[in-house]
Amino acid sequence: MRYLTILKATSERPGKGEEEEEWKQHFNLTTQICCGAQVLDLLWSDPSPQLGCSANLVRGGGCAFGPDVTKRILESQGLRLLIRSHECKPDGFEWTHDGLVLTIFSASNYYSEGSNRGAYVKLEGENVVPRIVQYISSSDKENSKRTLSESPFWGCKYLPNTDLETCV
């Protein structure tokens, strides 16, 4: 993986120019990145159980990156977690690379009614703990459910293929 987008949550909100300069200094950014090949890599790169980085033959673009690549990037940037999307998951989310990569997919029923849940992640508290909210949209709004679960990698109670706590 050659490109990385970092979203920073801060309690102090400096002006846009100040924030941009702060990030350029922190990550030694010297150039503005923008071109088609980079967008292709950002959209179509996927985590893989195989070590290293190789062409993503499943999608025909981007790369397949292994847990070693994830660990190296996160450590070099002082980050704990990579959150990505653009890949349908049956539960609306999936943890890979020993809990270092979280894939979120927000469109429930993507292929057909009941084919998958949707999910989004809320980053909460000072330690920015990820809390995953799953849901299934329904054509019948009264029967539409939202369910809440959290990742076992963060000391939480989610167990695959079990009933999840229903929340409002």
- Decide the pairing of beta strands 82-84 and 101-104: parallel
Find where tokens 């159980």 sit.
Answer: 49
Overall pTM surpassing 0.95 (yes/no): no
The DSSP secondary-structure symbol of 86 reads S
166-9-65 Cα angle (round to 5): 80
Q: What is the pLDDT of residues 74-113, one digit of tens each?
A: 999 888 999 999 899 999 999 999 999 999 999 999 998 8
Residue 89 structure tokens: 């998951």
Integer Cα distance of 72 and 122 in angstroms: 25
Q: Please determine, for residue 141, whether its predicted confidence score (pLDDT) is greater than 80.
A: no
Q: What is the pLDDT of residues 40-75, one digit of tens each?
A: 777 789 999 999 999 988 888 889 999 999 999 999
Integer Cα distance of 81 and 90 in angstroms: 21
